[in-house]
Each structure stands twice: as structure tokens, then as C-alpha cells.
Amino acid sequence: MFKVRVIPCLDVKDGRVVKGVNFVDLRDAGDPVEAAIAYDAAGADELTFLDITATHENRGIMLDVVRRTAEACFMPLTVGGGVRTVDDIKTLLRSGADKVSINSAAVSRREFVKEAAEKYGEQCIVVAIDAKRVKRAGGSDRWEIFTHGGRNATGIDAIEYAQEVVSLGAGEILLTSMDRDGTRQGFDLPLTRAIADSVPVPVIASGGVGNLDHLVDGVREGHATGVLAASIFHFGEFTIRQAKDHMVRAGLPMRLDP
Amino acid sequence: MTVAIIDYGSGNLHSAAKAFERAARSMEDPQAIKVTRDPDAVYRADRIVLPGVGAFADCRRGVDAVDGMLEALTEAVRVKARPFFGICVGMQLMATRGKEHVITEGFNWIGGDVVKIEPRDESLKVPHMGWNTLDMVREHPVLERLPLGPKGRHAYFVHSYHLNAANEADVLARADYGGPVTAIVGKDTAIGTQFHPEKSQRFGLALISNFLKWKP
């Protein structure tokens, strides 16, 4: 039976793990390779690294982190952050990433998704969408795409954008609610559901997990096929196993392999 | 003993090589894992692994682009009867034809076409991306002591197409994803998995170990 995925996400800056709270305050939480090994042993279904290294010179450090992780962990690894060219994707895949997530570069140039998918296959191209609810005078609210950690509005409708990138070859959507990220109030369920129901590919819900019920809600109410969380796992509040046991009790199919 | 992992420019060889190295380390007879694009090294190897990610036609072009590779591979597997392990698209290439976007010839080691998966349940997304259990169709040495079935271990899949085998005898295991999905094929000295053993944690390493021990 096919199972729901639980995916811890590690934000990595200059080779060290950090966790942004609303993408502002950064805290150092250790060595990403050590964390990856711990999550592998704990039964995480996939791992995501988000490289938030600002300078081009330090990006090589991330490739080393990916390489060392792939040597030690035999589990699926997605890497995102600063992926702008087909060559960036090539070096990440060659270093040991299984999937590469594209964010701003797809917003500024949609064709990049197509080029990437044609070259490496749809299965390894994830498009990361950062969406925020926008009030519209006289109209109903909608979700729009934001870039640069939620600072830059684009005016692009999130649902239309998701459909467009999927038609261009995105094999998965990593959807983050910028309203919920770091709040611990749970996923933006209407957003998650709206996107998940409008595209044929898997949607991973992200942003706002504060307790284990939120993970259940992301799947049941949000129709996500995987749930991504960071701080509830990173700071030892809950283990991956506790999360999965909770989801099993809620009736969701989970992988509990030893 | 050498295990050749064929490098023809497709995707993530690093993970496959590391997983085979890890599995080989825990074995009694040491086996050297070599990533190679040299047809001669493939021809001389004791075991051969063909990984593959991306589209069927691209992978086929990649194999064809290495001068002499297909001949060396065919000779080693079909004539010298060397054990062969195809992974993901590397497994799909064992089929007669691929039907991903365009019709492309496969190696025709296993009769059948590679076709799009079409889950009957509309809530199931394509690609089939994630962990699924396997149901054994036929016993095989590479499946020895692996806990399969609904309560068994999981394998990691990432694909939209699968090998629809013409002969039931060539299928070793299936997964269920709104309908049957071919998960493992096996014929003569060749096996192939649609899923990624190098990404399937302990289960994947156990399967790789079985392959390395297999003496067909």
C-alpha cells in the first residue's frame, strides 16, 4: 500500500543547519550531515535541504554537504535554494540529490521548468511555491506567489501558477504558506487543498506545523501526499516515529519500517 | 570480483555506487564497485548495474552514445550470462519498447512495453512518488528473506511509466497503485527494479546484497 510521506526540512546556510522563524531570526542547529543521518535512522521518508547560502562562493559547501549525505544516507534527498540553471541541477544531481527544487528562477522564467524536466525528467523537478493570501478590494481573497523569502510580491495567482509549472514538467509541488510559516498554527489548509486538487502531481504541504494533528490535517483536509516540517522535529519536540504513530492512529497509511 | 555500474550520463550514479559499496562491504567475498563508461570494463565485469533516471528515449540515447556499450552489455548479459541489475529506467530499458512521449526500442530482453501508469483512483497522483509495499509474484534468489506483502517493507518509487511485461513469468513483484505496477522483473541472469533500491534504506541495501550474492 502506498504511504504518506513525512519529510523533515533542513535549512542550510554556509554548511550549517538553521531554522528561520518567519524567515527572519536564524538559529544554528548543527551539522546537516549529522542531522540527515539521524533522520535516516529515525525513519524519515525523505529529506529536504534548503540552501539559503547567500554568496555564490559558499555554494560549493552545499555540494559537499549533499555528497557526504548521499554517502551516508540511502534515502531520497531533495535539494533546493538558489537553483537557477540547468547546470545547477546537474551538479546537485551528480552530487547525490534525487530531486531538485526550483523556486524564484521558475517565477522569473517559466521555461526553465520545461528545460529542466526535459533534460533530467519530471520526476526530479520539484517546483517550490511560496504563497500568501492577498485581500482583494471588492473581490474574494486569493493566494499569490511571493519570492525572496516572502518579501517580493509578484501578483501571480498561486493556483494558476501551479497548473502552469506542472504543465511545463514539474513532477511535484512543494507548497509553503508564507502566512503560516513559523507560526505553529498549522498548514494553510484551504490553500493546500486548492493547489492539491488542481494539479495531477503530488503536493507536499509546508509551513506552520506546530503539533502532530497539523500533519494529519495536511493530508486529510489539505489533500497533500506528503507533509514537511522543520522545527517540531529539529528541536526534539517530536520524533519522526511519534509523528507517524500519531498519523496511523488517525487512520493514515504510514511506513513504519525498522 | 568486480561490479560495473554503467555511467552513460544519466542522473545520480553517486547514490547507486555508494549503496552498492555499502552492501558489498558487509559481504564475505569482497567485490569492487566500479563506475565506468568503458565498454571493455563492462564486458569484463562479473556483475553489471544499469541505473537510469529521466525519460526512456534520453536514457536509450545515452547508452547508444557510448561507442560499443550496447554490444558489450548485450554480450556480457545475454551470452556470458553475467548477473545484471537494471534500476528504474535502467530496468525499463530491458523491455521491448518504451512509449514515453515517443516509441523507442528497448533491449528486448523482457517482452513488453513501457507504458504510462493510470491509477484507477483519481486521488492518486502521477508520478507514483513515495513508498509502497511489494507483492511477490514469483520466488527468486534476489528476494530471499525480504519481508514482502502488505505488512512487509517498503520500496521508494519515483516514476510515471512502468514495464507492462508480456509474460507473467518475467514479473517477480508488483506494487499496487490504483492498479498493478510492475516493481521487479527477472529473466535468466537479469533482474530489474522500477523502484530505487539505493534510496530504499535497509530494504534496498538487503536487496542489493542479495543481488551481489546471487549466483545464477
Mean pLDDT of A4-8: 97
Give the pLDDT of residue B9: 80
Residue B160 contacts residue A123 (beta carbons within 8 Å): yes
- The kind and range of the H/E element at A28 are strand A25-28
B105 touches chain A (CB under 8 A): no
Answer with the residue of higher pLDDT: B52 or B171. B171
Instruction: Pick the closest to residue A44 from A91, A102, A89, A3 (CA basis).
Output: A3
The residue ranges of every structural domain in chain B are 2-213
Least confident segment among A171-185, B51-65, B147-161, B187-201 = B51-65
As a whole number, the mean pLDDT across chain B is 95
pLDDT band at B11 (very low <50, low <70, confident <90, very high): low
Q: What is the pTM of this model?
A: 0.94
- DSSP annotation of B193: E
Query: pLDDT tens-digit profile of B64-102?
Result: 999 999 999 999 999 999 999 999 999 999 999 999 889
Q: Would you call A71 and B18 a contact, using CB atoms and an 8 Å cutoff?
A: yes
Active-site residue (options: B128, B140, B162, B196): B196
pLDDT band at A19 (very low <50, low <70, confident <90, very high): low
Cell numbers for B151, please give them: 505488512
The beta-carbon neighbor of A200 closest among B53, B125, B153 is: B125
The beta-carbon neighbor of B129 closest among A75, A119, A172 is: A172
Residue B112 contacts residue B146 (beta carbons within 8 Å): no
Cell numbers for A163, please give them: 497548473
Mean pLDDT of B38-50: 98
B132 touches chain A (CB under 8 A): yes
Residue A91 contacts residue A61 (beta carbons within 8 Å): no
Q: In CATH, what class is A5-249? A: alpha beta
Answer with the residue of higher pLDDT: A247 or A140. A247
Q: Residues 6 or more apart from B206 whose CB is under 8 A from it? A: B145, B146
pLDDT of A142 above 60: yes
Give the pLDDT of residue A139: 76
B25 touches chain A (CB under 8 A): no
Percent with pLDDT over 70 in chain A? 95
- The kind and range of the H/E element at A160 are helix A158-168
Annotation marks residue B59 as catalytic: no
The beta-carbon neighbor of B11 closest among A45, A93, A172 is: A93
Query: pLDDT tens-digit profile of A74-110?
Result: 999 999 999 999 999 989 988 889 999 999 999 999 9
Residue B4 contacts residue B50 (beta carbons within 8 Å): no
The residue ranges of every structural domain in chain A are 5-249
Query: pLDDT tens-digit profile of A26-73?
Result: 344 578 888 888 889 889 999 999 998 767 777 889 999 999 999 999
Q: Residues 6 or more apart from A137 whose CB is under 8 A from it? A: none
Query: pLDDT tens-digit profile of B130-167?
Result: 999 999 999 999 999 999 999 999 999 999 999 999 99
CATH topology classification for B2-213: Rossmann fold (3.40.50)
Give the pLDDT of residue A234: 81
Percent with pLDDT over 90 in chain B? 89
Indicate the pairing of strand A5-13 with strand A47-51. parallel
As a whole number, the mean pLDDT across chain A is 90
Distance between CA atoms of residues B70 and B72, nearest Å: 6
Percent with pLDDT over 90 in chain A? 69
B196 touches chain A (CB under 8 A): yes
CA nearest to B161 within chain A: A123
B120 touches chain A (CB under 8 A): no
